[in-house]
Amino acid sequence: MEFALPDHLPGLLAEMDAFIEAEIKPLEREHMQYFDHRREYARTDWESGGIPRREWEDLLDEMRRRADAAGWLRYGLPARFGGRDGTNLDMAVIREHLAHKGLGLHNDLQDESSIVGNFPQVIMMDRFGTEQQKQEWIEPMITGERSMAFGLTEPNHGSDATWLETRAEPDGDGWIINGRKRWNTGVHRATHDLIFARTSGEPGQAHGITAFLVPTDAEGFKVPFYWWTFNMPSDHGEVELDNVWVPADAVLGEVDRGLEVGQTFLHENRIRQAASSLGAAQYCIDRAVEYANERVVFGKPLSVNQAVQWPLVELQTEAQMVRLLVYFAAWHLDHDHHMQVSDKVSMANYRANRLVCEAADRAMQIHGGIGYSRHEPFEHIYRHHRRYRITEGAEEIQIRRVAQRLFGFGRR
């Protein structure tokens, strides 16, 4: 059995690091208020509902522009979109590598922003869009001219996505949509919101849900407020749809089969999310080990104490096991249909997301009071990655998916 990375990856990671040092780190150093202990306050427009400051997002846009010009941003996309046909395994290794480098402009996961872009919406559009939709959407989404929020969760329905109360009714050559959506991430700047609404069938049925590309400036589309969260700024909007009309060509995919669109989005995100959590966990472990070796207490290094050693050994062991699982699941995604490997993706996702929370917490503990402060990055890492145990399917949903495959019940 071969455990080595593909031959092209070590050299590619070295090239990437050189680009970061030459193009991104100097830009980061010019705007350190977004990355040091001031980061949460500098990034947040507190007077405008807690959304990200435009200056902060402009900096992220410049980072992506430089990465695109250098050929990195589209790495994971097909060559026909200007990408390099990067595989799921490539992307898992890259996402881990970038997160392992710690906080920085090169990879700010609070905004899902990285020099190597994660474009689940592009993949979703490529699989389910009409030719006209692909032409109108794919390149503008990559460059940022168009953007799409994701409107699946509702006030009364989160993980139970087949029980949607939002409904869409046929109306002439279009549809009228009524309902409410919650956690519409990025809607403050999105040109459209991908709204999932019931168009037929009964509550609890997977069939009968349709995905609609709804313009955020449509009459009746409102964002009454943004949810302030554990990790600020917040771009998670509450959305109200009051008799919002969209044309027939606003449907993405097939009518009544919108959950297939949503599943593609989630599966693309879950494995890459897991890789990022793994990388951030390894960063926390490495920093804790380094500090324990340097810190002298009662006349000897902190690291000689088994109470310090053993928790870090447990975390390092878990990280190595999760790494093999992430790579294994990513490799299978490259060779099998995503539904065939969904249990492996779920395993990798929930274990990696737990690991990073435990690693950040342990790093805080070993660093003592300074670890709890905002002058170290552990609190930021914890606050960000803690949401991954809820988003893209709560870890209970991930575990249930594994149970379905293990016990042979439900959807396979």
Q: What are phi and psi of 244, to 5 degrees?
A: -80, 125
Helix (H) or strand (E) holding 395: helix 395-407
Retrieve residue 143's tokens. Answer: 């460059």
Q: What are phi and psi of 21, to 5 degrees?
A: -65, -35
Give the contacts of 321 (CB within 8 A, at least 6 positions apart): 351
**Cβ(222)–Cβ(242) under 8 Å?**
yes
Q: What residue ranges in 34-73 does DSSP mark as E strands?
A: 44-45, 51-52
Give the contacts of 132 (CB within 8 A, at least 6 positions apart): 249
Residues 143, 118: Cα–Cα separation, whole Å: 13
Q: Looking at the annotation, which residues are catalytic?
A: 392
One-letter identity of residue 205:
Q
Residues 387, 394: Cα–Cα separation, whole Å: 9
Residues 350, 345: Cα–Cα separation, whole Å: 9
Residues making up the chain, counted from first to last: 412
